[in-house]
């Protein structure tokens, strides 16, 4: 009889992991969610909304500058998070997977990046002309309110003087968001691919032997841990993304002198941020649920195989792998990670956040 303390000694080297190409089809699900979300906004939202009676006052340049610094802080933090998470994925991919698995994964990532950038850099033909997020909040407001902001590079003789063309801080917003969208697409694709790669497997174990069962248990535990890790990474990425979204959407709002106009525009910001939060949470669900269901099927198959060879009490024989234990706290953490973008948007919508005012 094998003791739990001997499991690691019996565990053979798993070798590099290989993802089945069919599992990479899961990458198409978040792409479908993104297309549906943007189509819904582009078709049934108002991309030509005009904010009425825009009036600025003498302190507006100072208010704009304060909001700009908050945006820059949110952007800098978001960029740091995206680079960190992407680096984690790259290291894990190169260290644990076969060259063929890496090749398949890179192809999938390129597809996801190409589609996501089409909504931030390139405009699909079926979208209304000029469809960009700031149009949903009033292009005239952003150009008027942010146009008074001064940039050193936009001054006569500056490096960006020609590109700015009198746009002021509006140019800074567009320029920085266009570049951070590349990081967003890359890191999101990496996180999604990392989740899918939790389904990658070493050479298939023989489930008719004790050693084979131990090897399979080890592989299943690793897969579960990987899926959970990338679920948390998804929550971190999309929640910090929501903070960035709220910071730029609220940038010109505080500069509106008229209280009624400012309050009405805040309502639009709150509603749109809620929509974005829901979209991000559905994105997480679109790739987490298929992966978790496939792992569930594998675990049940493993349990049946163990029962056939006389190891029905998995909680004792394979205690170190926790295959047979349902941890309600882990389930709660999973749910929290999925809905975290909605929570972030809800806080921004219904609470008085001083850092956005």
12-48: pLDDT as tens digits: 345 688 888 899 999 999 989 988 888 888 788 888 8
pLDDT of res. 91: 94
Distance CA 77, CA 117 (A): 21
Please answer whether residues 318 and 7 qualify as being in contact, where contact means their C-beta atoms are separated by less than 8 angstroms: yes
Whether residue 107 has pLDDT greater than 70: yes
Report yes or no: 317 and 327 within 8 Å, Cβ to Cβ: no
- DSSP annotation of 167 reads -
Which of 76-85, 224-233, 272-281 reaches the highest mean pLDDT?
A: 76-85
Structure token digits, residue 120: 């931030």
Q: pLDDT category, 220, cuts 50, 70, 90?
A: confident
Q: Kindly tell me if the per-residue pLDDT of 120 is higher than 90.
A: no
- Show the tokens assigned to 165: 């063309």
Chain CA centroid to CA 68, Å: 24
- Compute CA distances 128 → 39, 121, 143, 230, whole Å: 10, 14, 20, 35
Residue 198: Cβ-neighbour burial (10 angstroms; 0-12, 13-18, 19+):
buried
Could you give phi then psi for residue 328, rounded to 5 degrees? Answer: -65, -30
Residue range 325-341: mean pLDDT, rounded: 54
**What is the reported pLDDT for 23?**
92
**Residue 133: its pLDDT value, please?**
78
Residue 74 pLDDT level (bands cut at 50, 70, 90): very high
Q: What is the mean pLDDT of the chain?
A: 78
Position of tokens 């060259």?
A: 99
Give which of 350, 193, 194 is closest to 277, Cα–Cα: 350
Distance CA(273)–CA(253), nearest Å, equals 14
Phi, then psi, of 89 in degrees rounded to 5: -65, -45
Per-residue burial over 57-77, b if 16 or more Cβ lie within 10 Å, else e, is: eeebbebbeebbebbeebbee
**Helix residue ranges, H only, the chain:** 7-10, 28-44, 60-96, 99-118, 139-147, 161-164, 169-196, 210-249, 259-308, 314-317, 328-350
Confidence tier at 196 by pLDDT (50, 70, 90): very high
Q: Range with the lowest mean pLDDT among 164-178, 248-262, 314-328?
A: 314-328
Contact 220, 323 (CB under 8 A): yes
């Amino acid at each position: 009889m094998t003791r739990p303390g001997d499991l690691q000694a019996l565990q053979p080297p798993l070798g590099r992991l290989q993802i089945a190409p069919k599992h990479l089809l899961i990458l198409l699900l978040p792409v479908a969610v993104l297309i549906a979300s943007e189509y819904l906004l582009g078709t049934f939202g108002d991309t030509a909304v005009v904010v009425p009676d825009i009036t600025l006052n003498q302190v507006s340049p100072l208010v704009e500058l304060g909001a700009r610094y908050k945006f820059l802080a949110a952007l800098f933090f978001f960029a740091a998070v995206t680079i960190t998470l992407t680096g984690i994925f790259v290291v894990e991919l190169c260290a644990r997977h076969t060259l063929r698995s890496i090749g398949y994964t890179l192809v999938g990532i390129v597809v996801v990046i190409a589609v996501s950038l089409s909504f931030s850099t390139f405009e699909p033909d079926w979208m209304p002309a000029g469809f960009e997020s700031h149009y949903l909040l009033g292009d005239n407001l952003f150009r008027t309110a942010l146009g008074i902001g001064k940039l050193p590079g936009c001054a006569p003789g500056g490096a960006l003087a020609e590109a700015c063309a009198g746009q002021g801080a509006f140019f800074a917003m567009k320029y920085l968001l266009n570049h951070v969208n590349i990081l967003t697409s890359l890191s999101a694709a990496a996180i999604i691919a990392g989740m899918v790669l939790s389904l990658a497997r070493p050479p298939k174990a023989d489930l008719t032997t004790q050693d084979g069962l131990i090897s399979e248990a080890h592989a299943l535990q690793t897969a579960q841990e990987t899926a959970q890790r990338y679920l948390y990474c998804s929550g971190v990425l999309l929640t910090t993304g929501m903070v960035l979204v709220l910071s730029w959407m609220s940038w010109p709002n505080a500069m509106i002198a008229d209280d009624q106009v400012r309050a009405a525009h805040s309502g639009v910001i709150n509603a749109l941020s809620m929509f974005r939060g829901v979209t991000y949470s559905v994105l997480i669900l679109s790739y987490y649920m298929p992966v978790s269901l496939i792992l569930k099927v594998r675990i049940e198959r493993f349990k049946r195989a163990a029962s056939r060879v006389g190891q029905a009490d998995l909680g004792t024989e394979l205690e170190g792998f926790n295959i047979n234990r349902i941890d309600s706290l882990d389930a709660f953490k999973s749910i929290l990670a999925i809905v975290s973008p909605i929570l972030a948007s809800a806080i921004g919508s219904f609470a008085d956040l001083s850092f956005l005012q």
